[in-house]
Amino acid sequence: MNSSPASPSAIAPAKSHYVILDGLRGVASLVVVVFHLFEAYAGGSPQNQIINHGYLAVDFFFLLSGFVVAYAYDDRWSAGMSQWAFYKRRLVRLQPMIIIGSLIGAGLFAFQHYSIYPRVDAATTWQVIAVMLIGFTMIPLAPSADIRGWQETYPLNGPAWSLFYEYIANILYAAGVRKLPDKALGVLVALAGIAVVYLAVFGKRGDLIGGWSLNAEGIQIGMTRVLFPFFAGVLLMRLGKRIKVPNGFAVCCLLLIAALALPRFGGTEKLWLNGIYDSVCVILLFPLIVAIGAGEKDVNGVSVRIARFFGDLSYPLYITHYPLIYIYTGWVSDRHIPAAQGALVGIGVFVTAVTIAWVCLKLFDEPARRWLTAKLLKRAESA
């Protein structure tokens, strides 16, 4: 293969992973599944939700993504990597599992005829197929096209909304933000942080929940939630802020799980208290956790092998588990399932979700990415 200025061999040597950060992504994904299982018993009220702040895992994912993208690609631009080469790499990394998530969502849609989904009974097979195919492309759907009735941008697989904003952040990074000097990037991050505080503290909900609807409010929430953490992650990587502590992975796990599991603050009377908590987590605590997690790359031992396993599993688990949650939530709600029985079934759902994610990772995602890398990336590099 002829080496060119745009080829990876010319752009940068292979980089080692931040294993602890990979593991933290896996831990956050597991918490998200548990959070969604408990939502079935929350009655639609954030006040009643157990693992109350699990929704902030999305903001943590955005922060990790910005850090990792900057680590992997910042030095490649000066070596000649084009925007299109960057976009192809991100498509190879993200798109295969988006397709699988939409397929699973379509396959399980037939088992979701519950009263809490007002449009499911009226949806035709051809509508489901059309929504699935549109979901393959990540084109967002307006609320009027929602076949479930929850105003989801991706009604077959709700969590895909965050990947839509992940793509937006990647495009913004490649199109111009990457060129900003650190001070200018710091100003952008500070302004985005102000937007987070405004939404969480002064918004009508007192939290950062939302972003999955293609309407003015949903877009505002989605953009607010992605802009600060993603570009704060980029800035954190560039500034080289690393904190070394003994047992860094365990410390980070404890901090992250505690942050996501703490009960809601302020009740229904002082919503702003919970908004302050959300803001502190996203703006201060999560960057601290990432700085600790990035403080050590050369690690080994059983805990690190666990971190690698769940790090690999994290994205497939996040993007494939929710069709099971639709079924579980509808079952619990319509049949008024007691908590003890629901917990037993919930454990089964959790194990099933992890199993499906592992099978998708090994039998589809990894082979698909190898094939796409060979077809889309290596061929272009040797041209």
From the list 313, 327, 325, 326, the residue with the least C-alpha distance to 356 is 313
pLDDT in tens, the chain (383 residues): 333 333 333 334 456 678 899 999 999 999 999 999 999 999 888 888 999 999 999 999 999 999 999 999 999 998 889 999 999 999 999 999 999 999 999 999 999 999 999 999 999 999 999 999 999 999 999 998 999 999 999 999 999 999 999 999 999 999 999 999 999 999 999 999 999 999 999 999 999 999 999 999 999 999 999 999 999 999 999 999 899 998 888 899 999 999 999 999 999 999 999 999 999 999 999 999 999 999 876 566 676 778 788 899 999 999 999 999 999 999 999 999 999 999 999 999 999 999 999 999 999 999 999 999 998 876 555 44
Structure tokens that stand for 238 in this block: 């560039």
**Angstrom distance (rounded) from CA 148 to CA 323:** 12
**359 φ/ψ angles, rounded to the nearest 5 degrees:** -60, -45
- Contact status, residue 192 vs residue 231, Cβ threshold 8 Å: yes
What is the four-CA torsion angle of 111, 116, 117, 121, rounded to 10 degrees?
A: 70
Q: What is the pTM of this model?
A: 0.93
